[in-house]
């Protein structure tokens, strides 16, 4: 079963109906008070209930209004940031596919001349075959 979503006009109409009913109840209580059939204490209690219900109805409408104005999380695009690594020599951020550091010129990760595996820039030897890394 689909969940019914309350539109702005529906919410305002509901508050109007509740407000009209509460106003009628308060006016009826005042007329009963004036004719002497109702005590002032009961009228004060009814007035308090009317104010509480009106405050609750307005808080519901206000919460709906605030929720409907929030930006959608789906609307904001996610930006793809380029991957970066830190240079072991100067700690500068360098693009991950760079062969040399842009600041100090240190060679970034390189491939082993013997087996072709990746040698990290902090390594002096290939972690796969043990051949010494050559620096240019």
Rounded CA-CA distance 22/12 in Å is 15
Query: How many domains does the chain contain in total?
Result: 2
Question: Are both 65 and 12 inside the same structural domain?
Answer: yes
- Please identify, among 27, 46, 69, the residue that sits at the C-terminal boundary of a domain: 69
| Residue 76 covered by a domain | no
Rounded CA-CA distance 97/105 in Å is 14
| Residue 102 covered by a domain | yes
Q: What confidence score (pLDDT) does residue 136 get?
A: 47
Q: What confidence score (pLDDT) does residue 76 get?
A: 57
Question: Are both 89 and 60 inside the same structural domain?
Answer: no
- Please identify, among 41, 69, 97, the residue that sits at the C-terminal boundary of a domain: 69
Question: Are both 62 and 100 inside the same structural domain?
Answer: no
List strand residue ranges (DSSP E) for the chain, in order.
84-86, 93-95, 110-111, 118-119
pLDDT tens per residue across all 136 residues of the chain: 556 666 666 767 777 777 777 777 777 777 777 777 767 777 777 777 777 777 777 777 777 777 777 666 665 555 566 688 788 778 888 887 788 888 888 877 777 888 878 777 666 788 888 888 765 4
| Residue 46 covered by a domain | yes
Per the structure, the complete domain to which residue 17 belongs is given by: 8-69
Q: What confidence score (pLDDT) does residue 95 get?
A: 84
Question: Are both 89 and 63 inside the same structural domain?
Answer: no
Question: Are both 55 and 22 inside the same structural domain?
Answer: yes
| Residue 103 covered by a domain | yes
Q: What confidence score (pLDDT) does residue 80 get?
A: 62
Classify burial at 136, counting beta carbons within 10 Å of its beta carbon; exposed 0-12, middle 13-18, buried 19 or more: exposed
In this prediction the pTM is 0.29
């Amino acid at each position: 079963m689909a969940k019914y979503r309350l539109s702005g006009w529906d919410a305002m109409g509901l508050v109007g109906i509740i407000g009209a009913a509460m106003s009628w109840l308060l006016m009826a209580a005042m007329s009963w008070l004036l004719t002497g059939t109702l005590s002032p204490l009961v009228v004060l209690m009814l007035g308090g209930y009317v104010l509480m219900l009106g405050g609750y109805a307005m808080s519901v409408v206000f919460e709906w209004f605030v929720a409907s104005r929030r930006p959608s999380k789906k609307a904001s695009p996610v930006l793809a940031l380029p991957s970066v690594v830190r240079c072991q020599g100067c700690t500068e951020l360098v693009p991950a596919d760079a062969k040399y550091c842009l600041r100090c010129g240190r060679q970034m990760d390189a491939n082993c001349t013997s087996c072709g595996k990746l040698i990290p820039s902090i390594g002096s030897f290939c972690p796969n075959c043990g051949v010494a890394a050559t620096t240019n």
